[in-house]
């Protein structure tokens, strides 16, 4: 192509729609993105190749379909591929999965991701929750040493629901009542001094002792020192559970008592609220997915699209569990 023709071509390319530009880029790239994605998927599958039905490792190759190697289980006769039984089963557009994983790591909204990839927003919404369904399970098993716990409240949301149990309000709107009420969802966050963090969606309204008993004992070392604010539920829970407890009275201006403070968990709250704000409200039924997504970003355990795709397929070689 001559230099003048190239200049005209570039000028015309800028006037194309987003979908046309994405199609042009995909044409120039060829099959490289899809081949890279399939190679990664097959690599993960080879590490633990077994029948998803009977879990037998006695399998034979059984042709190809949609770019993926298919296998046939000798004992039960079932056929499957590397995506069978994973959150990504039956999803299309494999060539764009790594680029979409990059959107998740950049905290890109559903609409912006759809525009960037040239897909419908319903597709990127579906992908978001498929990609996060296993990746959000990247959590520590236990908190040690000094563990801070505190709750925060977000407005209950029925965003995207077909039927609603209350009158509709604007996205990211406000509650009808001032202060914390039954219109708010409680999120309990516990974080030790090494940065290991666990969060729980405890339900609507104020935090209770029963909810603390349900959430904290399975994930706390018996020798842990629990540091909280002056909420009465924490003291009652710690006394009944036999856990050492210190409280700081924030209302009285007491923020630090020696090594006892809740500044780490409050800082995590602040980062979480700031990160949630651009989404203009998060559907309560998907809130645990967003909390897992935020933990992925805050802990910086998953730093590349390739690592996130592997985590979506259940491969967590980079994790250090405690």
Domains in the chain with CATH codes: 146-160+176-282 (3.30.420)
Residues contacting residue 12 through CB under 8 Å, at least 6 positions apart: none
Give CB contacts under 8 A, 24+ apart, made by 116-119. Answer: 117/22, 117/93, 118/18, 118/19, 118/21, 118/22, 118/23, 119/93
Q: Is the pTM higher than 0.75? A: yes
Cβ atoms of 123 and 88 closer than 8 Å: no
Report residue 30's pLDDT band, with 50, 70 and 90 as the boundaries. low
- pLDDT digit string (tens) for 170-228? 766 777 776 677 889 999 999 999 999 999 999 999 999 999 999 999 999 989 999 99
The answer to whether the beta carbons of residues 131 and 312 sit under 8 Å apart is: yes
Confidence of residue 148 (pLDDT cuts 50, 70, 90): very high
Name the pLDDT band for 254 (thresholds 50, 70, 90). confident
* Token code pair at residue 14: 């800028």
């Amino acid at each position: 192509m001559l230099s003048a023709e190239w200049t005209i071509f570039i000028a015309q390319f800028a006037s194309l729609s987003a979908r046309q530009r994405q199609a042009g880029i995909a044409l120039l790239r060829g099959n490289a993105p899809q081949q890279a994605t399939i190679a990664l998927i097959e690599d993960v599958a080879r590490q633990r190749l077994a029948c998803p039905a009977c879990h037998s490792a006695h399998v034979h190759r059984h042709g190809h379909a949609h770019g993926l190697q298919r296998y046939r289980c000798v004992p039960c006769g079932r056929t499957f591929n590397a995506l069978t039984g994973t959150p990504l089963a039956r999803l299309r557009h494999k060539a764009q999965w790594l680029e979409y994983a990059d959107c998740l790591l950049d905290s890109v909204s559903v609409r912006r991701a759809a525009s960037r990839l040239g897909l419908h927003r319903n597709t990127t919404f579906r992908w978001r929750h498929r990609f996060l369904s296993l990746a959000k399970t990247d959590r520590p098993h236990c908190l040690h040493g000094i563990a801070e716990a505190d709750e925060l409240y977000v407005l209950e949301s029925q965003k995207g629901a077909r039927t609603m149990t209350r009158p509709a309000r604007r996205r990211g709107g406000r509650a009808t009542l001032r202060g914390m009420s039954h219109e708010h969802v409680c999120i309990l966050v516990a974080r030790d001094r090494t940065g290991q963090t666990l969060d729980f969606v405890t339900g609507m309204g104020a935090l209770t002792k029963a909810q603390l008993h349900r959430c904290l004992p399975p994930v706390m070392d018996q020798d842990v020192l629990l540091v909280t604010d002056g909420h009465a539920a924490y003291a009652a829970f710690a006394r009944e559970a036999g856990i050492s407890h210190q409280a700081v009275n924030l209302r009285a201006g007491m923020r630090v008592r020696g090594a006892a403070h809740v500044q780490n968990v409050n800082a995590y709250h602040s980062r979480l609220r700031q990160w949630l704000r651009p989404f203009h409200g998060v559907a309560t039924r998907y809130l645990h997915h967003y909390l897992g997504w935020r933990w992925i970003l805050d802990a910086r355990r998953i730093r590349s699209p390739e690592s996130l795709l592997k985590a979506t397929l259940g491969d967590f070689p980079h994790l250090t569990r405690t």
